Amino acid sequence: MPYTSTKTSVLLLKKYKDGESIEEDYKVFMAKCETCGHNRRGQETESDDISEISTYYKKWLKEND
């Protein structure tokens, strides 16, 4: 189909250990990646949101640990 692009989702989950309390109210990190460093034909592009999102996620982990 013309005008479609590759779409990917990433979901990270935590498995609780026996006896570990499960929080009912917890924070969620979400980000939307508009560019991933290549186009739909696999050719590299200058735009890449993934490294920026990774930086934000690491910062979020430190602040919410």
Question: Model's pTM, two decimal places?
Answer: 0.66
Domain-located, residue 65 = yes
Domain-located, residue 54 = yes
DSSP code for 39: -
pLDDT tens per residue, the chain (65 residues)?
A: 455 566 777 888 888 899 988 888 888 999 988 887 877 788 888 888 888 999 999 999 999 87
Domain-located, residue 62 = yes
Domain span at 35: 31-65
Domain-located, residue 53 = yes
CA distance 27 to 48: 26
Domain-located, residue 26 = no
Please count the structural domains in the chain: 1
